Amino acid sequence: MVNNKLLSLTFGLAFMVACGRDTTPADVRPVGVGSDPDEIGPSPTPLGGVVGYDNVELSGGGLALAHMGLGSFEEVGPAFASFAPPYRAIIGFSYLFDQKLPAASTMSNTTPVPPEVEGTCYTVYSPEGPIGSFNTVDVGDRMEFVSADGQKKFRMGRVPYDIPPDAQSLFVYYSSIEPWAPASRAHKVPGTDPSDPRAMVEESYVSPNFPFGEEMSFRFPGGVTRRDQPISSIPRPSTSSATPAAITLPEDIAPLIQWSGPRYNSSGDVIAEGDHSQCIEFYGDGRATAPGTPEDCASTSPVYPTDKGSWDSFEGQIYTAPWEADQGKIHLEWVPGNNGEQVTFAVRFMEPPSAEDPNYMNAEHNGRPATVCEESEQDFVADTSMFESPAMQGDPFARTVEVSCLFEDDGAEDIDVSMFTDALEYAQTHAIGGAIFYFGRGVEVQVEVPDAKDAYDQKHEISPIGVSSRVVKVGRFHWDSTMIGGAE
C-alpha cells in the first residue's frame, strides 16, 4: 500500500449493483458508462481525510481481530486470554491527506461505505482505497475524543510515534484499540504521606471510552515536520478552527435475528432445525428462553458457563444466511434510535486464504524460526496450520465481494436472498471461503480543521474531513459453496 515516499492506494469501486425496495430519487450516480440507471453506488465526497471511532463487537464464532483490519488471526473466544465476553473493543483509525480525495471514505477500517438512499443496497467487487498519490498529514502525537466534563475520553496515537531519522518513505496515521470500558475504574495510590498506607487515595486509571449517545469533542494538538520529511503537517491545534469539532456518538444497538431452517455450529454441522430467534451476540445458548423481541436482548445478558471445562470449550454462534434459510430470508429487529442515525447492514464475501500470501508466512532457517542475525539466510514458509481455524474460513484481508445496505431506522428489516443475487452469481465462478456480516448504527459528520502545510511551507486547504462513529455487531454466516453451485 505504500510506494516509497507517497501513500498510494488503488480505488476499485466498479461494477456496483443496487438492490432493495423502491425509494425516492436521491443524490446518487450511475457507475460506469452505459450502466443500468438502477445500478447505483454512493456519490464520492471530496474529503481531506477520515477519522473513525467505532464500538465493535465480535458477536459469534469464527471471527478474529484481523476482520477489523488488525494483525491477529486467532479466533476470538474463551481461549483468547486477554479478552472476555462480550468481545467488544473501541477501534480508532485515521488518515489525513494534504489534498481532498473524492473517495476518502472508502478507507473505513470497520464497515463498507453504505449507500446514500435508505432501503437500497449496492454490490462492489474487490474494493480497495482511493486512487492517487498524496502525502499524509501529521497533526501531533495524538488525536482525542473528549466529553464536555473531560471524564470520558478516547485517544489515538500517531504511528510512528517517534519520527525516524531517515524519513524517506515516511507516512503517518493514527490508530488505537482498547477494550470497551462502559464505566470508570479506580485503584488506591499513595496520598500526601507516601509512608502512611492509611493516607492512600483513590485514583481513576480507566475512563469510559464510548459513552453512547453523548457528544464528544474531537481535537489534536498540531504538529510541525521538517523539510526532509515527505509528509505535511497542521502546525496549529484543532481548537484554533473557527468551528469546534464534535460528534454525537450513536446509541447502542441490541439486534434480534430470526429465521426458519438449519442452525449450524462452527464446524458446519447442523445442530437444530426449525424456527430460530437469537440475539446477535457471541454465545447463542446462554439464555433459558429464546428472546422474542430486541428489548429482551438489550435488557438481559447471556449466562456463560462457569466451570473450567465448559469455559475453555464453549463456542460462539454461527448464523444461517438468507440463501440457506427457508423462504430465502432472515429477519432483523432492533430498537429504533432517536438521533437520526444510519442503520447499516453489509456482507463481505472472502476468497480462501493463500499459502502464497506474505501475511501467512514465517521467517525460518533450517526448519526453525530465523534470528535477526540470519536475515540473509532465512526462508519464508507459509504457516498453513492457521488455515484450519474457523476464523480463517475466508481470508480476513480479502474483500472479494461486498454488499452494503442502508435501512430506515424503523426497527425491522427482512434480509432477502435477492439482495445478494450478483454476489452469489460471482461466487458460482470464483472461489469464496467464507462470509461475514456487519450490522449496526452510526453517524457521520464533516468538520473543519486548520490548513495543512507541506515540506516547502505551501498551504493546503484540506477541510472538511470526515468523522464517523459506529456501533457494529459482526457475525459469521455459515458458508458452503456447494449449496449455491459455487466454485470449490
Query: CB–CB of 94/51 below 8 Å?
Result: yes
Q: How many residues does the chain have?
A: 488
Q: Is residue 24 part of a domain?
A: yes
CB distance 250 to 227 below 8 Å: no
Could you tell me if 65 and 12 are in contact, meaning their C-beta atoms sit under 8 angstroms apart?
Answer: no
* pLDDT (0 to 100) of residue 368: 73
Least confident of 279-293, 309-323, 356-370: 356-370
Q: Considering the domain boundaries, does residue 451 fall inside one?
A: yes
Residue, of 294 and 16, whose pLDDT is higher:
294
> Mean pLDDT, the chain, as a whole number?
84
Range of the domain at 329: 2-352+394-484
Q: Does 371 fall in a domain?
A: no
**127 or 191, which is more confident:** 191
Within a domain: 418 = yes
Q: Per-residue pLDDT averaged across 119-127, rounded?
A: 89
Among 109-113, 181-185, 283-287, 414-418, the range with the most confident prediction by mean pLDDT is: 414-418
Note the helical H segments in 233-319.
294-299, 308-311
Report the relative pairing of strands 215-219 and 142-146 from DSSP bridges: antiparallel
Reference 233, options 418, 49, 437, 447; nearest CA is: 49
- How many other CB atoms are there within 10 angstroms of residue 34's CB atom? 5
* Mean pLDDT calculated for residue range 217-224: 95
Task: Find the range with the poorest average confidence among 21-30, 212-221, 474-483.
Answer: 21-30
Of 3-17, 95-109, 250-264, which range is least confident?
3-17
**Residue type, position 419, single letter:** M
d(CA 280, CA 471): 13
d(CA 71, CA 73): 7
Residue 358 inside a domain? The answer is no
Element (H, E) at 424: helix 421-427
Q: What is the DSSP letter of 425?
A: H
- With 0.75 as the threshold, say if the pTM is over it: yes
Under 8 Å between Cβ of 141 and 234: no
User: Is residue 247 situated within a structural domain?
Assistant: yes
Highest mean pLDDT pick, 13-17, 179-183, 329-333:
329-333
CA atoms of 153 and 217, how far apart (whole Å): 9
Burial (0-12, 13-18, 19+ Cβ within 10 Å), 54: buried
Residue 6, in any domain of the structure: yes
426 Ramachandran zone, left/alpha/beta (phi>0; psi -120 to 50) = alpha
pLDDT reported for residue 307: 76
Q: In the structure grid, which three cell numbers stand for residue 355, read together?
A: 499459502
Q: Which residues contact 199 (CB under 8 A, 6 or more apart)?
A: 190, 191, 192, 193
**Residue from 447, 457, 469 nearest 49 by CA:** 447
The count of structural domains within the chain is 1
**Span 396-410, pLDDT tens digits:** 888 889 999 999 999
What does the alpha-carbon distance between residue 381 and residue 355 come to, in Å, rounded to a whole number? 9
Inside any domain, residue 121: yes
